[in-house]
A and B are shown apart, each in its own frame.
Chain A
Amino acid sequence: MEPLARIENELKKCVKCGTCRAHCPVFSVLGREPVTARGKIALARGILSGSVPIDSRTREDMSKCLLCGRCVEKCANKVPTDLIVLAAREVLARKRGLTPFSRVISLLLGNRSLLNGLSMLAKVASPFLFGRIPASSGLRLRFPFRFLGRRRIPALARRPFLGRHPEVMEGRPGRPRVLYFVGCITNYIYPEIGEAAVFLLKELGCTVIIPNDQQCCGFPAISGGDLDTFRSLAEKNLAALEKHPADYVMTACASCGGAFHRLYPHVLGERFPELSSRFQALAEKSVDAAVLLDRLGFEPACNGTAAGQRVFYHDPCHLRSRSVVREPRELLRSLPGLELVEAERSDTCCGLGGTFNYHHYGTSMGINAAKITAIGNSRADNVATGCPGCMLQIADGLSRGHGRVRVRHLLEMLADGMRGNP
C-alpha cells in the first residue's frame, strides 16, 4: 500500500468533474468509466480503503493507461494520474507479482549484455523467423511469434548504436559539453537517430559524450510496477552520467526525457531522499534534443533540399506534456523548402504507451487509427517526430494502407538539412 498511501493527498485532489473523459485516448476507444483518470483515481482510493479488491480485474483496469499525461495537462487541479497509476501498478505487482511479460522486460532491461546477445541472435535468425512484408516506410519484418500478434516492427539494427563511437568526442573550445543518453529503441532499432544526433552536435561544435555504461531509462520496468529494477537502472544511469562533467544531458527519445524529468524525481526522488538531489540535478540538466538544437542556434545548409516535402509533425506525449511543442516545429520550418502541414490531431497520442501496446494491442491500434487517418488526410509524405517509440507505432499503423508515407525522427531530417541531403 505504501506507494499509494504516500500520495493519498494527490488522490484527494480529484473533484470528479469528469473533464478527463474528454481527453483520455483510452476512454475515447473503450468508453468505460474505469479507464478514465477519474475512474482510476476512484479505484486507487478504493484499493487504499480496502473497498476495491487487488485482483486481476483491478490490474486490468490499471493496465489501461498510456501514461500519456493528457489528463494531467487538462485537469484544473493537476491531479497526477500518471504517477497514481504507476503507484497502483506497483502495489499490484507487490501483492500479485509481476506479469510474465513484465518479468521478461525487467530481466532484459536489467542486463544489457543479455539484451545485446538476444539482439544478435534475433538478427542471425531473422530471415528464418520473420515473415516479410512490403519494404516500405522502413518496416521490413513482421514477428511471427504469437505473443507479438499482428504487430509489424522493423528489423533490429545490424549493430547497436552504443559502442560505435568513442565515449568522448571533443568539440570546439567554449562550446557546450553534451552527454547523449541514447535509449533502447534508438540503440537497437533506429541507430540512425543516434548517428544524426552525433552528427548535429559535432557540427555545432559540441563535445559529445556517450557514456558507454548507460542503461535503459527504466520506463518499461516501472510501467509494469517493478520499482526495484527501475531504481537499479536509474542509479546506474546516474552513475554513468555523473562521471563526465557536462553542460547538458540530451535525450532524443521523448520517453527517456520524460523519465528524467518526471519519473526519476517523483517516483524515486521523493521515495529515496538520499538520491533526491542527484535526480533533481539530472532533471535540471537534461534537455530534449529539439530544445537544445534550438538553443544552440541550429542552421541548415542553405543548399538544403527539403524542397517539396510535406511533413506532418507528431507531438510525442512526453514532449507535449513538458511543453516542448514550439521548438521541433520551428526547427522543421527552418529547413528550406519544407512544408510543415498544420493538421488536426498532430498533438494526440499515437497509442503506443509502452507496455500498453503489448497488453491491449487492439485498443492501441484503435487509438492509432485516428492519427493515421489524420496523416492520410493531411497528404503529408513524411511524418516527423521526436520519439522512436512513437515512430514504431506510427509506422505500424501506416504500413496498413499508407505505405508510401515515411516516418522519421526530427533529428534525421535536421541532419539531412544540415548536410544538404534530400
Chain B
Amino acid sequence: MLKPHIIKELRAIVGKEHVAVDMQDLVCYGYDATQMEFLPDAVAFPADASETSRIMTLANRERIPVFPRGAGSGFSGGSLPKGGGIVLVTTRMNRILRIDTENMVAVVEPGVVTGDLQDAVERLGLFYPPDPASLRFSTLGGNVAECAGGPRAVKYGVTKDFVLGLEVVLPGGEIIKTGGETFKGVVGYDLTKLLCGSEGTLGIITRIVLRLLPLPESRKTMLAIFDSIDGAASAVATIIRGRIIPVTLEFMDHSAIACVEGQFGLGMPDGARAVLLIELDGDRDLVERQAAAIGELVRPLGLIDFRAAEDSAEAEALWKARRLISPALKKVNPDKINEDIVVPRNRIPDIIRRIEEISGKYEIPIVNFGHAGDGNIHVNIMIDKSVPEQAEKAEKAVREVFGAALGMGGSMSGEHGVGLSKSPYVTMELTPGQIGAMKAIKKALDPNNILNPGKIFPE
C-alpha cells in the first residue's frame, strides 16, 4: 500500500485521471503472457519524459519500486510488479513523432505499437523489418527492452540492429540521450546497445530513433517438405552457401507436423519429417530467379514436395500449417512452457534429437518449431499443471534443454528475455564474472534498486 500523500504526489505529476489505484486496474496491470500475476500498488500513465522523470525522482526518494510496462505481451514476466510498487505504463506515449524519408529514420515514442509504425512507414515506401509475432499489439519500447526478433531476422537482424538512438529516463530521474540519428557515432560507450535487451532494468525509454530501409519491391513464399530434419538443415546451409539470404526460413520439425496434422489434417505427404517455409524479398526478377534456384538446390536433400506461391493468397495458404501450430498445441495438453533457445544453425538436427530424448525420458510431449535461419527454436513443453508431478518433470526437462543448447554453443533465450521466469537458470549460461559486471552496471545506474527489481538476476 502506498501512503496517501504519495498517491497525491503521483496525481500531481501525471494528472488525476492518469493514476489508477482501483483493484480493477491493479488486477489488469499485474499480468503478462507468462500468466503469472502480481498486484501493484498503483498504475501510472505518464505523458512524456518529464513526467516519467518526476515519477522516478519521487520513487527514489520514497524507495518505491517502479515497473515499466508496454503492452504486457512479454513471455518472461519482465513487466510484472513482483513485490508491489508502481507500474509505469507507456500507452500514452504513443506518437510517431517523425518519419524522415530522406535520412530514412523514424522517431517514435515507446508506446507506439510495432505494426502501426510498419504500416506508417510502408505507406511512404519504407520498411521497418523487425517482426515479432506480437507486432500487432506489442510496443516498440517493449521490443527495444527485450530486443525482440522475428522471422525476418535471418536477413535483416533484430530490434537492436535498427535502434540508432534513445531518450532514456535513468532510475534516478535524469533524462539522457544515447546515440543519435546517424548510422555512425563512436563517441563514448554504446549506451544504446546496452539498453537494448536491458528488460526495463537500467532506464525507461521515452523516445526511440529507428533506422529504416527501402520497402522491397516484391516477396515470394515457398514451402519445402523433407523426409528428415537433416535434409531441412542442410537445405538451409545449402541455400545460404548458394549466396541467397531469404528473408524468412521457418521450420517445423516432425513433432510440430504431427501436432498440426493430428488436429487439422492438412494433408501433409506421408513421410514428412520436416517443413521449411522460405520467403524471399527484393527486386521482382531477382526474387523469381532465386526462387527457381532454391527449388534446384534443395531437390537432392530428401525433398518430398516443393511449392511456390504465385500470389498472396497462395502464400497465405503455405503459411497455414505454421500458423496453426499454436491452436493445435492447445489440444495436446492444457499448459505449455514455451522456451526459445538458440543454437548455431548447423546444430539444429542435433538439438532436435536431444530434445526428443528428453521428451521420451520425462514422458512429456515437446513440440518444436522456429527460425531455422538463425537457429532460434521454440521449444514447447506441453504439460497439465493440474497434475503435480508433471510440473516437476517439466522443470527438469527445461533445465536439460537449456543445458543441451548451451553445450552446443547456444543460448537459453533468443528473443523472450530472462525476466522472472528464466532468472533461476541464468547461472547456467552466465559466469560469476559476467553477472558481476552486469550487476555493477545496474548498481551504478540504480543504487537503490528501484527500477524493475527482481528481474534477470537470481535472487
Residues on A facing B (Cβ under 8 Å)? 12-13, 15-19, 21-22, 31-34, 38-39, 42-43, 46, 51-53, 57-58, 61, 76-77
Contact = CB atoms under 8 A, between A and B. Distances in A.
Nearest to A39: B28
Contacts of B94: 31
B136 interface: yes
B73 A76 contact: no
16 contacts: A12-B334, A16-B34, A18-B33, A18-B72, A18-B73, A19-B134, A21-B137, A22-B115, A31-B92, A32-B20, A32-B25, A33-B72, A39-B28, A43-B27, A43-B28, A52-B24
B118 to A, nearest CB: 13
B63 interface: no
A74 to B, nearest CB: 9
B24 A57 contact: yes
Contacts of A42: 27-28, 31
A17 B33 CA distance: 5
B326 interface: yes
Given A31-B91, A31-B92, A77-B327, A16 B27 contact: no
A49 to B, nearest CB: 10
Nearest to B31: A16
Contacts, number: 74
A162 to B, nearest CB: 43
Nearest to A13: B330
Interface pairs A-B: 8 shortest CB-CB: A22-B136, A18-B73, A33-B28, A21-B137, A39-B28, A22-B137, A34-B28, A76-B326
Interface in B327-385: 327, 330, 334
Interface of B: 20, 22-25, 27-29, 31-35, 71-73, 91-92, 94, 113, 115, 134, 136-138, 326-327, 330, 334
A58 B326 CA distance: 32
Contacts of A13: 330
Given A51-B23, A76-B326, A76-B327, A16 B32 contact: yes
A77 to B, nearest CB: 6
Contacts of A12: 334
A61 B23 CA distance: 12
Query: What secondary structure prevails in chain B residues at the interface with A?
Result: loop
B35 A51 contact: no
Contacts of B136: 19, 22
A285 to B, nearest CB: 29
Given A15-B33, A18-B137, A53 B330 contact: no
Nearest to B115: A22
Contacts of B32: 16, 18
B35 A16 contact: yes
Contacts of A22: 113, 115, 136-137
Contacts of B28: 32-34, 38-39, 42-43
A46 B37 CA distance: 12
Contacts of B22: 57
A16 B23 contact: no
A15 B134 CA distance: 14
Contacts of A58: 24
A316 to B, nearest CB: 23
B35 A46 contact: no
Contacts of A17: 33, 73, 134
Contacts of B35: 15-16
A352 B31 CA distance: 30
A58 B28 CA distance: 12
A134 B73 CA distance: 48
A21 B334 CA distance: 23
Contacts of A77: 327, 330
Nearest to A21: B137
Given A42-B27, A46-B27, 11 more contacts: A13-B330, A16-B31, A16-B35, A18-B134, A31-B91, A32-B91, A33-B29, A34-B27, A39-B28, A43-B24, A76-B326
Contacts of B27: 34, 42-43, 46, 51-52
A19 B323 CA distance: 14
Nearest to B327: A76
B327 A52 contact: no
Nearest to A33: B28
Given A16-B33, A34-B28, A76-B327, A21 B71 contact: yes
A51 B27 CA distance: 9
Contacts of A15: 33, 35
A30 to B, nearest CB: 10
Contacts of B71: 18, 21
A40 to B, nearest CB: 9
Contacts of A31: 91-92, 94
A18 B113 CA distance: 12
Nearest to B116: A22
A17 B330 CA distance: 13
A39 B71 CA distance: 12
A77 B324 CA distance: 11
A18 B330 CA distance: 17
A34 B25 contact: yes
A51 B30 CA distance: 13
